[in-house]
Amino acid sequence: MTNPKPDLWFSFVRSHRALIREIERRLAEAGLPAYGWYDALWGVESGKNGTRRMHELADALVIERYNLTRLVDRLEQEGLVTRARSPEDGRAAYVTITEAGRSLRKRMWKIYETAVNELFLPQFDIKAQREVSEALDQAALAARQSSQSVQ
């Protein structure tokens, strides 16, 4: 029995589900849209001039392109972002956040941040926060590299 026990992994997936579920619950309770919208809005807003290319955004959010297309469709319909094609590269599509988008993101952040600060972060001291964060980034990198090495 020298094998590593994957307890940590199962704690990881279970806690992720429990936390996301609770965050979604709080957002819904406050009449705000689902959690995924926050990520997308922030991904756009944090780009240069509040703009990002689609594939760059999909990559940052770790979601599939076709799902991003339709997520952005929905955001656009609500007037939270605008979409434009690039004159230089006819394939490229740019997404830009609107004022309404910024405002909604801020309102969502209040709820979201509170939940994270209350439920998640206190379980780690400052040193652990940095270390675990780095370990998780490494794991994400390993996962991406593994998938690319096949493709």
Partner DNA sequence: GCGATATAATTGCGATTGCAACTCACTGGA
Partner DNA sequence: TCCAGTGAGTTGCAATCGCAATTATATCGC
Would you say 62 or 136 has its CB closer to DNA?
62
In this structure, the number of other CB atoms found within 10 A of the CB of residue 59 comes to 15
- Taking CB under 7 A as the rule, does residue 64 contact DNA? yes
Number of shown-chain residues binding its own copies (CB under 8 A): 52
C-alpha–C-alpha distance, residues 29 and 24, integer Å: 8
Q: Is position 133 an interface residue for its own copies (rule: CB under 8 A)? A: yes
Asked if 30 interacts with its own copies (CB under 8 A), we say: no
- Which listed residue (19, 26, 54, 119) binds DNA by CB under 7 A? 54
Strand order, beta sheet including 51-53: 51-53, 93-97, 81-85
69 binds DNA (CB under 7 A): yes
Phi and psi at residue 11, in whole multiples of 5°? -60, -40
Burial class (CB in 10 A: 0-12, 13-18, 19+), 105: buried
- Asked if 149 is part of the footprint of its own copies (rule: CB under 8 A), the reply reads no
Binding segment for DNA among 8-16, 71-79, 113-121, 135-143 (CB under 7 A)? Answer: 71-79
Contact pattern from residue 41 through residue 70 relative to its own copies, giving x for each residue in contact according to CB under 8 A and a dash for the rest: ---------------------xx-------
How many of the other CB atoms lie within 10 Å of CB of 71? 19
